[in-house]
Structure formats: C-alpha cells, structure tokens
Structure 1
Amino acid sequence: MRDYKKLDVWKKSHSLTKQVYADILPIMPADERFALTNQLRRSTYSIPLNIVAGRGKNTDKDFVHYLDNALGSAHEVEYTCYLIYDLGFISTEIYHKTNTAINEIKAMLIGFIKFLRGENL
C-alpha cells in the first residue's frame, strides 16, 4: 500500500491548503470570487490532490507525472499569491508566510522528482 499520508510533501501541501483557506480566501473581495479567489483555491488543493492521485499509480514514472503536475500547481499558487499581495488584498505577513510554505513545497517536489527519476541530487 502506498499511503500518501506518510509523505512529508503531502503533509506540507495539505497544511498549505488549510492555511490558504483560513488566511487568504475569507478576506478576498467579493468581486474576485470567480476570478483570483477561485483560481487560488483550485491551484492550492491541486497540489495535494496530484500527490494523492500519483501515489495511487503503479509505477514511479506515472507518479512523477503527477508530481510534475503538483509542481506546476505550486507555481500557479506562488504567482497568484504574489498578484493578490501586489494588488493589496493580503498583508506582507500573510504573503511571506504563504510564500515560504510554497517555496518549501516546490523544493520538496523537485527533490522527490529527481529521486524517483534516479537523478543525482
């Protein structure tokens, strides 16, 4: 059994999703509900969802494909949070807290992908 809940990168991305739901989504302007808010919500939970989906595959090659998708979603979250910050919707503190978590997740995903591909770290 390939339990995704044992993966540190899944734990970190799940935590980020809860953080975004608690710290950012509730304070977004109503007129952004179907734009930036929705984009941030979907790209954030896409990270752990792709890890879960990939963990259920039979080969490391398939798993890496889903980890690549999770990494793409992490980049989307990174930019969306930057835009939200740059537009003045979130504080510097919330932005830095979220950006730090995103960068840690990206580094973990890159390291995991390299490991599964057999690349030297």
Structure 2
Amino acid sequence: MRRHNFKKLQIWSEAMDLIDENYLFTSTLPDYERYGLRTQMNRCSVSIASNISEGSSKRTDKHFIKYLEDSLGSSYEWETQLTVCYRQNFLSEEVYLSLENKVQKLQSKISNFIDSIEPEN
C-alpha cells in the first residue's frame, strides 16, 4: 500500500470545511452550552479530519480503514448533536438542513472511499 497524502484527499478537505462551519455555528450556542454541546461538537468535527490524517500514516489499508471508520463514527456523532441543537431550537431549520446535508454527503464520501480501498475478501 502506498501512503495517502491526506492534504490531497477530498474527504479531508471537506472535513476541514465542516470544522470551519461548525465553529461558526457553535459560537452562536447559548453560554450554558459552552462546556456541553459546543465543546463536544467542536471536538467531533476536529476528530473527523484528524482521524483521516492520522490514518493516512498507517502502513496498511486495513489500519487506514480503521481510522476512516472512526472518522465516520465521529461524523455520525456530530450529526446527532446537530439534531439535538435543532430540537432545542438553537438553529433554524434552514441552517440545520444545510449542515445536515453537508455532513451526510461527507459520510457518503468517506464510506465510498473505504469501499474503494477495502481489500476483496
């Protein structure tokens, strides 16, 4: 396996964009969520991109896939927290649907990337 340059991976780039949008959004959350949803969503969004980059350093595709799956897991966790924010009326439906669409597209791309490098059984 050749190692991937994570900075050239579209999924990493899109994960970085999600981080930017996440930080803009979480800065609008109520102060009482500073150590709750705000912190957790920030950590999740960073985890998505971080796992992609960390996994790219691994020696085998099998190990890289494990990190990609962790990245995917963080994206689902972030999506759940976004839904909590919407249900608590911390954001408009328009913003919610836009962010939900972006994370779901990223999830699909990560899944497709995993499928493309997963060894045949």
Deviation of the 1:2 alpha carbon: 2.9
Distance (Å, rounded) in 2 between the aligned partners of 1:106 and 1:40:
16
- Residue from 15, 21, 28 that aligns with 1:13: 15
The aligned residue for residue 61 of structure 1 is 62
Distance (Å, rounded) in 2 between the aligned partners of 1:109 and 1:118:
16
- Please show how residues 80-119 of structure 1 align to structure 2 within 5 Å: 80-118=81-119
Distance (Å, rounded) in 1 between the aligned partners of 2:114 and 2:83:
25
Distance (Å, rounded) in 1 between the aligned partners of 2:105 and 2:4:
23
The aligned residue for residue 80 of structure 2 is 79
The aligned residue for residue 42 of structure 1 is 43
SS for the counterpart of 1:16 is: helix
Structure 1 stretches of 4+ moved >6 Å: none
Number of residue-to-residue matches in the alignment? 118
1:33 aligns with 2:39: no
Q: TM-score, normalised by structure 2?
A: 0.93
Identity between Structure 1 and Structure 2 (%): 31
Gaps of 5+ in 2: none
Distance (Å, rounded) in 1 between the aligned partners of 2:109 and 2:17:
14
